[in-house]
Amino acid sequence: MTTAAGVGRMSGMEMLRAIERGELPAPPITHTLGFVNLRVLGEGSAVFTMQAEEFHYNPIGSVHGGVIATLLDSAAGCAVHSTLPAGWGYTSLDLTTKFLRPVTVESGVLRCEGTVINRGRTTALAEARLFDVKDRLVAYASSTCLLFPLPS
């Protein structure tokens, strides 16, 4: 809740940089799923990494699609968040995900890059790409986010 309390009081970029520096705690979902190393590369661009682990597996022995989709959604969302001024928030309207190859422990450290494609007054379009340790694209997503002023 410490991090959530900062939403609206600083720009999205300032908030993400504070998380990156450890001045604000990372959102709980990052601990739950093991996302690490949030880096904001600039306005409209964010990167996470995650070690693929067996606790991410579905019953057929690969990383659950929901874990992959959450990682993609988080990277796209943080890319959008990095463009917002203080007093503004966002929420995902949709997430279209394409799974290109199985992800297992052997996939190693996954790198997920989120990028804003277009930002308007009320919506933003972003994409996220997930790569395995061999730099192969393993999943892709596009996301539309609704942008809105936060209540004072």
Q: What is the CB neighbour count within 10 angstroms for residue 117?
A: 14
Q: Which domain holds residue 142?
A: 2-149
pTM (two decimals): 0.93
pLDDT in tens, 77-118: 999 999 999 999 999 999 999 999 999 999 999 999 999 999
Residue range 119-124: average pLDDT?
Answer: 97
Q: Give the model's confidence band at 9: pLDDT under 50 very low, under 70 low, under 90 confident, else very high.
A: confident
Residue range 11-27: average pLDDT?
Answer: 93
How high is the pLDDT of residue 14? 95
CATH classification of the domain holding 105 = 3.10.129.10
Phi-psi region of 59 (alpha: psi -120 to 50; beta: other; left: phi over 0): alpha
How high is the pLDDT of residue 3? 55
pLDDT in tens, 36-72: 888 999 999 999 999 999 999 999 999 999 999 999 9
Number of domains in the chain: 1
Q: Do 47 and 111 contact (CB within 8 A), yes or no?
A: yes
Residue closest to 79 by CA, chosen among 3, 12, 138: 12
- Residue appearing with tokens 């989709």: 69
How high is the pLDDT of residue 84? 97
